[in-house]
Structure 1
Amino acid sequence: MFEKIEIMKMASAMATHAAARQNAVAENIANADTPGYAARDLPAFEDLYRSEGSGALRATRSGHIDASATITTAPEVIASPGVTSPDGNSVSLEEEMVRSVEVKREHDLSLAIYRSSLNILRSSLGRG
């Protein structure tokens, strides 16, 4: 019942996006010394949510039935001219630290939205 509430779906999608983006940041940091490695990041959550918010069914796994659209949350190569090191690596540890803080803020925001929504539901039921 509560999974159909749009704000709950949005908070869940935001938390999932933050987890996937943190994974991309961790992968970039782990490959900071790998020659030829190109830094990756996910598109902004707002862009993904708007593009996927068509209301149609979406497949997140190949086994899903009757879902024509798929969620595209794969990390993309970041185009940062001038950041590439002599060995071809484009990871900047400073930029990755900033991205890590952005991801934490995005995750905290998703939890705050979820918590506030639950408090509103509890209050409407007379249990808050």
Structure 2
Amino acid sequence: MFEKLQLTNMANAMAERAGARMGVVAQNIANADTPGYKTMDTPSFADTYQDGGTPMRMTRPEHMMGQDQTSASILRGAKGSGAPNGNTVSLEQEMVKTVTIRQDHDMALAIYRNTSEIIRASLGRAR
């Protein structure tokens, strides 16, 4: 029953993306001292969900202009200079990413939990 609801599919996709992004961040942290290593990240949730899920609807033609429509699962590249050995990993930035990932994962769980509570209430079943 839950797999047919678009909202639970979106929450599932959010949780899966959070897990995948945490793996990429962990790889970045593990390679923080590797010479020449370039920081990696995943595309935004909107891009990945649009590619694999229900497409977002535009309210007007200019609505979604300017968004980078990449389909890559991992984006390699660095923002900023980096270390003299060519490594672009910033441990501070990676730690900030982990906080964002945790918030995304918690949001996905909250959406799923609230959806299931609403369905239970509508069926007349309390916890």
Q: Where do 5+ consecutive residues of structure 2 fail to align?
A: 56-70
Residue 21 of structure 1 aligns to a residue whose secondary structure is: helix
Taking structure 2 as the reference length, the TM-score comes to 0.81
Give the aligned CA root-mean-square deviation in angstroms: 1.5
Do structure 1's residue 40 and structure 2's residue 40 form an aligned pair? yes
Tell me by how many angstroms 1:75 deviates.
1.7
Quote the offset at 1:53 in angstroms: 2.6
Unaligned runs of 5+ in 1: 56-71
What is the deviation of 1:51?
A: 2.9
Report runs of 4+ in structure 1 exceeding 6 Å deviation. none
* Percent of aligned pairs sharing the same letter: 50
Normalised TM-score (structure 1) = 0.81
The yes-or-no answer on 1:74 pairing with 2:80 is no
Structure 1 CA distance for aligned equivalents of residues 80 and 104 of structure 2: 26
CA distance, structure 2, for counterparts of residue 113 and residue 39 of structure 1: 31
Partner of 1:112: 110
Count of matched residue positions in the alignment of Structure 1 and Structure 2? 111
Number of the residue aligned with 1:103: 101
Per-residue Cα deviation, 1:3-49 (whole angstroms, up to 9, x for no partner) = 11101100000000000000000000000000010010001112211
Residue 11 of structure 2 is matched in structure 1 by 11
